[in-house]
Amino acid sequence: MRRRLIQSTLAVVLVVIAVFGVSLVIVETRTISNSAQERVDSEAVRLASIVDSRLLGTGSVDAEVLRGQVTGDRYAVIRLADQETIEVGTRPDGEVIRGTARGEEGESVLVEEPRSSVTREVGRTLLIIGLVALLAVIAAVLLAIRQANRLASPLTDLAETAERLGSGDPRPRHKRYGVPELDRVADVLDASAERIARMLTAERRLAADASHQLRTPLTALSMRLEEITLTDDPDTVKEEATIALSQVERLTDVVERLLTNSRDPRSGSAVTFELDEVIQQQIAEWRPAYRSAGRAIVSSGKRHLQAVGTPGAVAQVLAALIENSLMHGGGTVALRTRVTGNQAVVEVTDEGPGVPADLGARIFERTISGRNSTGIGLAVARDLAEADGGRLELLQANPPVFGLFLSRTPPSAKPSADQDPTVR
């Protein structure tokens, strides 16, 4: 590209120099020739006036008087009516420029000047024009190189940026070049880099959330399947298989919920459901794990509460809190339900050491953990709660009390045209 830009610029300059240079040479040559001819004619008129003045004064003219009037390499011939012809100077060889004049006393004056003087002056003019043209070519080449570098270097940078994007490095460069078209391309590449970075972040977040949220359901399902393989009682097999199928359905709901939340965290399909059913289902699912750890999990508080949300999402939030208590807490884990205002609250507490003071509200941030865990579970739980219009808070650090707040009023549906009293 640099070579093409330099060649095209140089070609344009050469064409301009050729067109205007040739025209200038022709005009200057004619101007110099006309100026030389006018000079010789003026010299002839001047000599004729001198001869007239001498004839009127003394009545005669000689070569000695006129020799001082003819300068340079000019040659003059004065023809008088009643005297001999007077020649002044040396007759030039080759082509000459002639100028003639007639005096009032009947004399004629012929002045000749060698054309070589015109040729020399034209040569000097051509030399000056040639030097100017050479300087113009040099300046054009330097300008073309500078312009080519100014245009080619940004294109190289933009190509490198595009290559980095293709290789998985989505960092925007935020570099501009002062050329509107190139800056527009840079803006588009930077915007694409930011979108790719967000997409990669969302994919990594989805993978981390999925691995964390699916780990416990898969472990519970594996335990149910092991129970089935270890028993020969058909009733037990049927019961365990039914539970396993329920866990598979919840597992499917977890996957769909994660996918939906990764696309739009606010796209929860909230419904009114029995909160006791979700709590008892989680207690039944986690009781074997707590029993294996020598701990207990119980529920208390107000019964038969109805809440608004997505049952699967609420189950995932409670599962994250229960798992957090199993991993980091101690003693008995209690799920207490209560009502505050228009909200149903599920509190999850245990008898462990609680949340470290240096974490506080940061416990819900991703990668924040007090016990070298992933730090994902509580962050995902908070996102799920907010997607359903609820909220998850740390109510007390020691002993730890987490509160899940859910609305008890279903979202009001927009009235249709048939139901709208303002529609006639």
Q: What is the pLDDT of residues 314-360, one digit of tens each?
A: 888 898 899 888 888 899 999 999 999 899 999 999 998 888 777 76
- What pLDDT score does 418 carry? 42
What's the CATH number where 305 sits? 3.30.565.10
H or E element in which residue 307 lies: strand 306-309
Give the mean pLDDT of 215-227.
71
Does 405 have pLDDT greater than 90? yes
Residue 379 is assigned to a structural domain of this protein: yes
Both tokens assigned to 110: 């012929």
Residue 340 is assigned to a structural domain of this protein: yes
DSSP-based three-state secondary structure for 113: strand
Q: Give the residue, 415 or 65, on which the prediction is more confident.
A: 65
Residue 90 is assigned to a structural domain of this protein: yes
Residue 28 is assigned to a structural domain of this protein: yes
Name the CA radius of gyration of the chain, rounded: 53
Residue 286 is assigned to a structural domain of this protein: yes
- Mark residue 75 as left, alpha or beta (left: phi above 0; alpha: psi -120 to 50; beta: remaining): beta
Least confident of 36-45, 226-235, 338-347, 409-418: 409-418
Residue 190 is assigned to a structural domain of this protein: no
Per the structure, the count of domains in the chain is: 2
Residue 88 is assigned to a structural domain of this protein: yes
Alpha helices in 58-115 (DSSP H): 63-67
Closest CA to 113 of 131, 94, 126: 94
Q: What does each C-alpha distance from 74 to 33, 50, 91 come to in angstroms?
A: 16, 16, 8
What is the model's pTM? 0.46
- What pLDDT score does 282 carry? 87
Closest CA to 52 of 43, 39, 62, 61: 61
- What pLDDT score does 415 carry? 42
Q: Which domain holds residue 362?
A: 264-407
Q: What does each C-alpha distance from 282 to 27, 38, 270, 301, 336 come to in angstroms?
A: 103, 118, 19, 16, 13
d(CA 353, CA 402): 14
Last residue of a domain, one of 137, 168, 183: 137
For 122-136, the pLDDT digits (tens) are: 888 889 988 988 898
**Most confident by average pLDDT, 18-32, 169-183, 357-371, 374-388:** 18-32
DSSP-based three-state secondary structure for 273: strand
Residues forming beta bridges with residue 106, ordered by sequence position:
none
Residues 6+ apart with CB under 8 A from 79: 85, 107, 108, 109, 110
- One DSSP character per residue, 344-375 reads EEEEEE-SS----TTTGGGGGSTT--SSSS-S
**Distance linking the first and last C-alpha atoms of the chain:** 71
What's the CATH number where 51 sits? 3.30.450.250
Residue 155 is assigned to a structural domain of this protein: no
Half-sphere exposure in the Cβ direction for 378 (13 Å, CA)? 27
Least confident of 145-159, 220-234, 249-263: 249-263
- What pLDDT score does 406 carry? 94
Last residue of a domain, one of 137, 162, 192: 137
Q: What percent of the chain has pLDDT over 90?
A: 13
Q: What does each C-alpha distance from 262 to 199, 234, 266, 273, 308 come to in angstroms?
A: 10, 41, 10, 24, 21
- What pLDDT score does 345 carry? 95
